[in-house]
Amino acid sequence: MKKTKETPAAPTSGPLKIRIDGKEREFDIENPTLPDWVEEHKLTSGDYPYDKKMKSDEYDEMLERLQIELVKAQAWLQSTGKRVVALFEGRDAAGKGGTIFVLRQYLNPRTARNVALTKPTPTEVGQWYFQRYVAQFPTAGEFVTFDRSWYNRAGVEPVMGFCTPEQHEQFLDETPHFERMISNEGIHFFKFWLNIGQETQLERFHDRRYSPLKSWKFSPIDIAGITKWDDYTKVRDVMFERTHKEFAPWIIVRANDKRRSRLAVMRRILLSLPYDGRDLDVIGKEDKKIIGEGPSFLGKQG
């Protein structure tokens, strides 16, 4: 992996000691050569069920078909006034932004919005925790995606010490009540967790570090998170246990292969919306190796 002098600057760190499958490894983000143990398992880590990526021509063909169906679904939303909220969560580099991009790529941006909020302002800190998210909810006919959401308080915040244990517990207690109101309101509500393996995450961080187009995505938080894999796993599992409900289930997508995961997300949304002209033959059936619901679907995945 040859790098040029034009490689963009990024946060630096020395070699990090991390544990993977009970073994201590050394990972240096400043080394432009990806370690063999990462390269070998970047797709199959976390018990991923495929050892090869989906072929690009197969993906491109299916992607276009599903995007056409999404345009039809948006027309139905506009004609009926129905609303959609789809939030995307997952570890850093899980593929949330790319999935949202292909989902919205050909939708009318006037009624299909993406929400990616920055850290709360002093005013927002003083408000009800959910308030700034509710302000972004859809009106009639809108399709709103959240690139991260109120679930920051169930993941990044407790791991990085950005909230108190009491605030974390209050969030876990209140969230099912909050999401029941969303369901009762008649909003089509999707909660996606994009799950990746540890070596997959490391490879994507490394790619960000040395990509002139993606370097802006790499931050000190990424470096801090590299050694906190197990901490994130613990809070994720608690989050699933407390907030996976029949009226607001967690949809788990195995996302080591971005192509398969993107199609799985789009297919789930299309199969859930009863829009006019829906072509079930085009949409196809779900890949049960890639998508499921609730913590039981994770199995051995880290």
CATH code for the domain in which residue 271 is found: 3.40.50.300
For residues 260 and 8, what is the distance between their CA atoms, to the nearest angstrom? Answer: 30
Rounded Cα distance, 20 and 226, in Å: 11
Classify residue 16: in a domain, yes or no.
no
* DSSP-based three-state secondary structure for 194: strand
278/69 Cα distance (integer angstroms): 7
Under a CB-based contact definition with an 8 Å cutoff, are residues 4 and 211 in contact?
Answer: no
- 12-58 pLDDT tens trace: 557 899 999 888 999 999 899 999 999 999 999 999 999 999 999 99
**Strand spans (E) along the chain:** 16-20, 23-27, 84-90, 112-115, 143-147, 188-195, 250-254, 291-293
Residue 29 lies in a domain: no
Residue 32 within a domain: no
Query: What is the spatial distance between Cα 78 and Cα 143, in angstroms, rounded to a whole number?
Result: 9
Instruction: Please tell me the pTM assigned to this model.
Output: 0.93
Helix, strand, or coil (residue 114): strand
86-101: burial string, b at 16+ Cβ within 10 Å, e else = bbbbbbbbbbbeebbe
All residues at 6 or more sequence positions from 32 whose CB lies less than 8 Å from its CB, including other chains: 1, 2, 3, 7, 210
Is residue 33 one of the residues assigned to a domain? no
pLDDT tens digits in sequence order for the chain, 302 residues long: 333 334 444 445 578 999 998 889 999 998 999 999 999 999 999 999 999 999 999 999 999 999 999 999 999 999 999 999 999 999 999 999 999 999 999 999 999 999 999 999 999 999 999 999 999 999 999 999 999 999 999 999 999 999 999 999 999 999 999 999 999 999 999 999 999 999 999 999 999 888 888 877 777 778 888 899 999 999 999 999 999 999 999 999 999 999 999 999 999 999 999 999 999 999 999 999 999 999 999 874 55
Residues linked to residue 19 through DSSP beta bridges, in sequence order: 24
Q: Is residue 17 in a domain? A: no
Beta-bridged to residue 143, according to DSSP, are 84, 112
Q: 194 has which bridge partners?
A: 90, 253
**84 residue type, one letter:** V
Give the count of domains, the chain: 1
**Domain that includes residue 183, residue range:** 38-297
Tokens in use for 300? 């051995």
Residue 254 lies in a domain: yes
